[in-house]
Amino acid sequence: MITLNLRGLSVRLGNRAVLSNIDADFQGGQIVSLVGQNGCGKTTLLKAVAGICSHDGDVLIQEDGKIVSRKAVRYMPQLSTVTSRLTVFEMVLLGLEGQLGWRVDKETFDRVDRMLHLLEIDRFAHAPVASLSGGQKQLVFLAQVFVSSPKVLLLDEPTSALDLRYQLVVMNAIERYTKATGAVTIVVMHDLVTASRFSQKVLMLNEGNVLAYDAPENVFSSDRLESVYGVKVLIEPSRLGAIHVVPVEPIPQPHEPHH
């Protein structure tokens, strides 16, 4: 069993506290959605766990009670403009950067090839990544992350700017990897319906603090969402077990005139 434990995780930028004393435990084989308003510290939390930004507090990764190096952590940022001329195969191969020699042996070739087939992008193996659609590119970068077999997977808005089909394809791929490997998977999400559909737990941040961390149905209450997002909502359960969060109207802020 892989576990990730955060104790007193704090990040400061100058005089501003971005994250304040985050305590949370994550279990392998589960997807945890990280939600909250823009600027509440979601991306910073992922970067702190990945060791990309300096922080105070402890990040402890264990497998069957033994300490695991942060080399087993992989962070995938939001999809940005891709201008690289690398092919899909070459881009996924870069996911094994620390394990590559001067030549790609058959075992490494087969490893990349299996990942391309698993995510159903093998037909694009020799195509430039820049020529693909947004959803196809996201699958390429997921393959690049998956190919190194990370034990902790940190994904920053993997479904942003994707159409409905590719949102489902990408989340299904993340779900399959998490269940098959027992990895700890933390995903920054803005779509609360998708978060409730695919997550076993939701961690809600508010101004750098943990406001709630529990199953989606316990986190997504109308009162809590209204206080965090400043909008009146209706909460409706679906037959698939997800929770539909329906925004109704913004709540007037103190500086806004009431109508």
Please check whether residue 259 lies inside any domain of the structure.
no
List all residues 6 or more positions away from 62 whose beta carbon is below 8 Å from its beta carbon.
Answer: 2, 3, 5, 68
pLDDT band at 247 (very low <50, low <70, confident <90, very high): confident
How far does the chain reach from its first CA to its final CA, in angstroms? 55
Please check whether residue 204 lies inside any domain of the structure: yes
- Average pLDDT on 29-56 reads 95
- pTM of the full predicted structure? 0.91
User: Is 256 inside any structural domain?
Assistant: no
State residue 161's pLDDT score: 81
Residue pointed to by tokens 């430039």:
128
In a domain, 32, yes or no: yes
Over pLDDT 90: what percentage of the chain?
71
- CA–CA separation, 100 and 118 (whole Å): 21
pLDDT confidence tier of residue 242, bands split at 50, 70 and 90: confident
The domain in which residue 225 lies consists of 2-250
Q: Is residue 257 part of a domain?
A: no
Nearest of 165, 124, 170, 110 to residue 145 by alpha carbon: 170
Examine residue 255 and state whether it is found in any structural domain, yes or no.
no
Q: What is the DSSP letter of 131?
A: G
Axis-axis angle for helices 106-118, 134-146 (nearest 10)? 140
Task: Give the C-alpha separation, 127 to 216, whole Å.
Answer: 39
Q: What is the mean pLDDT of residues 160-170?
A: 89
158's tokens? 């993997």
Pairwise CA distance, residues 190 & 74, whole Å = 21
pLDDT in tens, 97-114: 766 555 777 888 899 999
The yes-or-no verdict on residue 18 having pLDDT over 90 is yes
Instruction: Note the pLDDT of residue 99.
Output: 60
Cα separations (Å) of 225 from 11, 182, 197, 233, 240? 25, 30, 17, 7, 21
CATH number at residue 13: 3.40.50.300
Higher-confidence residue of 86 and 238: namely 86
Residue 125 is assigned to a structural domain of this protein: yes
Summary mean pLDDT of the chain: 91
Residue tagged 């191969």 (tokens)? 93
Q: At residue 7, what are phi and psi to the nearest 5 degrees?
A: -130, 115
Total domains, the chain: 1
Four-residue CA torsion sign, 164, 119, 155, 64: positive
Residue 32 in tokens = 């945890």
pLDDT at 102: 58
